[in-house]
Amino acid sequence: MKPLMDNKLSRRTLIKSTATATGGLLLAFHLPAFSKARPFEHYSESGEEINAWLAIDADDTITIRVAQAEMGQGVFTSMPMIVAEELEADWRNVRAEYADTNRSIRQDRVYRRTNTGGSRAVRRSREYLQQAGAEARERLIKAAAEQWLVSPDECYADYGRIYHKGSERSTNYGAIAAAAAKVSVAGVRIKTPEEFNLLGLPTPRLDVPAKVDGTATFGMDIRLPGMVYAAVVHCPVLGGEVRSVRFNAVRNRAGVLKSVRMKRSVAIVAENYWQAKTAVEAMPVQWVLGSGEKAYSETFKREFVAELEKEGKVLKEFGDVAGAMDDAEKSFESDYVVPYLAHACMEPLNCTVHVQEDRVDVWLGTQFPESALAVTAEITGQLPENVYIHNCFLGGGFGRRSSTDYVEEAVHIAKEIGKPVQMIWSREEDMRGGHYRPMAAMRFKAGFDLDKNLIAYSNHSVTHSILADQGRASKEVDSSSVSGLVDMPYEVKHKKISHTAKNTHLTSWWWRSVGHSQNAYAMECFVDEMALSSRMDPIAFRRKHLPDRPDLLNVLEVLEKESGWGKQNLPRGTAQGVAIHESFGTICGQVAEVTVSDKGELKIERIVSVVDCGNLVNPLTAEMQVESAIMYGLTAALYGKLTVENGVVLEDNLDTYRIVAMAEAPVIETHFALSGGDKWGGLGEPATPPVAPAVCNALYKITGRRIRILPIKDYMLQRA
């Protein structure tokens, strides 16, 4: 029986014809809870390891190892699906566990990439995961053929069994796994998308059962014998340092064991976290506040905008922009500004470490386990092969958990303690811990001829450089600062793109969709300005200036249709705005339908997305990622802002750093317009960038006011 293959073609056709990916298509069966609550723990060693990526038990259970971090994006399902597809596995027998980072560094990077970020999981791993599955399948076939004394060419694998074509003989995988582990094969071919049976089918997530009963283990949920807890307070001004600490003031409190002084922070270790947290917050600490002491975000804003007046480094120049602007019948310019943003993962940063003489163990949620391993080895002086990273489920990542700042602190503390220590940053410490989405200011200028044709376009961006914060500054421009700007897709004869890096005492980091998040906002709002200035419909204007981009045009066409663009009789105070952006190999177009009441209250009614990522592994998690990326972008657009006064970030918890809640959540409709071929675009991030411009463009229609500084909450909205 092959339940997964039933109606395969009709299902696939439906998806390709841009039907909503899951509605009504979801497979009507459910899988056993095949994901460990503690994902770093390995299933029994009883299974036969066919290759590093998978093991098969005698009862046909297949354990597939996942080298990327499960932070909500569904890699614990999508990555095993890629392996299982080639393995011709019975999906109901598949379970997932983390690949072992320590093994990967000991065995010449057997798991290739263990980092998670940049919407790369499928994009960068698909081919070698397919290879791993195909190689295992061919070994199973070869082992069966050897047992039957026939040629492997006469045998094939299908849905968890090997069959011999010339006879009735067949075997399940479990029975042949031990033999398959000992044979070798070479030159294995992988499937093309037309041959897929499993990839492209909406498949329930393997990690869901553990996430509805409280057993899914996040970093903070690790409990070890003899474990103690650490709470930390950092200098309130980023970059500042500890001057002095009076541990004596709190050392007699119940449960308090020790204080640890670090360069930029102090920790208290206690028997439980509440004792540690209250003690560290009561402990008198004097700080050297450092260069950020007098910093204000309002000053940053003025300084970034002032920098726009100067010449930036020219990254791209076609034609003669200055001449064309002079010749233009009409020209105008606009400045856009975005603030620093925190990631605000639901699970505050934490890390549990046990330093022993011959080994160091680290339990945490990390996007970069090899970086965590490397810093642990360095701080403890231990050999990397004696450091064990036990990755957990991540309570949100969004880029933040690719940093090692919190790991380094936990290792420093654990070195002093000699017992397992769980260090937790309070929400406030997490929010003030830097690593923010960069602040940026952008200036755009457009020139039009007599017939209202766009003839000249220039853009200068001034952006806090992430690379510079990572100590990787070079003479080249930080490409993440200008992503989406430097490769803007609209055709214009005279074009100039320039950039200036400008850093403050705050630190920046990759934040879901990185530079695209702020750049698409500013650019796609300005495209709307250009369209309206030339009295064109915003979609028609985009279409006119994308003559050589059939992929973008196709997304726009589907978006126009699915959103009912221009066709609906919207009530007074309601309007649609559009934006389209390509990032991480995927195009995402969105229409936001927005209402402003006569009292000035804002409601985001509906967001329609059309996505072209080429091919889909799991349409279910793909659709969930689009929904999630939209909500992340919406929070940023509506509320996201960090205010700095006297160098201190004021928004240090979720009361002041507001997150969009259920009542504000719009209706979300997601459509996939898949172009197929070799394109396998990312999905974790590309739906974030278009949200802010789509919403702001709709708001302009209602209010007549252009939102050029985010967030939207800072504006009094009024119907025009």
Residues forming the site for another protein (CB under 8 A): 30, 33, 71-74, 204-205, 207-218, 220-221, 223, 229, 254, 272-275, 344-348, 393-398, 424, 426-427, 620, 624, 627-628, 630-632, 634, 653-655, 659-663, 665, 667-668
- Which lies closer to another protein via its Cβ, residue 312 or residue 686? 686
**In terms of CB distance, is 299 or 653 closer to another protein?**
653
Cβ proximity to another protein: between 274 and 296 the closer is 274
Kindly tell me the burial class for residue 613, based on how many C-beta atoms sit within 10 Å of its own C-beta (0-12, 13-18, 19 or more): buried
If the CB atoms of residues 662 and 716 are measured against another protein, the closer one turns out to be: 662
The whole-angstrom separation of Cα 70 and Cα 372 is 16
447 three-class SS: strand
Reference 563, options 534, 524, 594; nearest CA is 594
Strand ranges in 321-379 using DSSP code E only, listed in sequence order: 330-338, 350-355, 360-364
CB atoms within 10 A of CB 716: 7
Q: How far is the CB of 49 from another protein (least distance, A)?
A: 29
For residues 7 and 21, give the distance between their C-alpha atoms in angstroms, rounded to a whole number: 15
| Residue 250 vs 344, nearer CB to another protein | 344
The distance of closest approach from Cβ of residue 71 to another protein in the complex, given in angstroms and rounded to an integer, is 6
Burial of 424 (0-12, 13-18, 19+ CB in 10 A): buried
Whether the Cβ atoms of residue 551 and residue 362 lie closer than 8 Å to each other: no
Which residues pair with residue 66 across a beta bridge? 98
Report the alpha-carbon distance of residue 703 to residue 716 in Å, rounded.
10
> Which of 693, 388, 327 lies closest to 526, judged by CA?
693
Compute the least distance from the CB of residue 410 to another protein, in Å: 16
CB 595 to another protein: min, Å: 16
Closest distance of CB 612 from another protein, Å? 22
Are the beta carbons of 584 and 682 closer than 8 angstroms? yes
Q: Judge whether 119 and 399 are in contact, CB under 8 Å.
A: no
> Is the four-CA dihedral 318, 322, 323, 328 of positive or negative sign?
positive
Which residue's CB is nearer to another protein, number 30 or number 246?
30
Cβ distance to another protein smaller for residue 220 or 531: 220
Q: How far apart are CA 402 and CA 62, in angstroms?
A: 30
Q: How far is the CB of 30 from another protein (least distance, A)?
A: 7
Tell me how far, at minimum, the Cβ of 247 lies from another protein, in Å.
20
**Dist CA 306 CA 572 (whole Å):** 39
Of 61, 35, 43, nearest to 172 (Cα)?
A: 61
- CA distances for 448 relative to 62, 512, 535, angstroms: 62, 35, 12
Contacts 24+ apart (CB under 8 A), 277-283: 277/231, 277/424, 277/426, 278/253, 279/231, 279/250, 279/253, 279/255, 280/231, 280/232, 280/233, 280/250, 281/231, 281/233, 282/249, 282/250, 282/253, 283/233, 283/245, 283/246, 283/247, 283/249, 283/250, 283/259
Q: Which is nearer to another protein, 114 or 217 (CB)?
A: 217
CB of 662 to another protein, least distance (A): 5
**Which residue, 376 or 635, is less far from another protein as judged by CB?**
635
To another protein, the closest distance from the beta carbon of 166 in angstroms equals 43
Q: Which is nearer to another protein, 173 or 273 (CB)?
A: 273
Closest approach of Cβ 499 to another protein, in Å?
31
Kindly state the smallest distance separating residue 339's Cβ from another protein, in Å. Answer: 18
Q: Give 126 or 512: the residue with its C-beta nearer to another protein.
A: 512
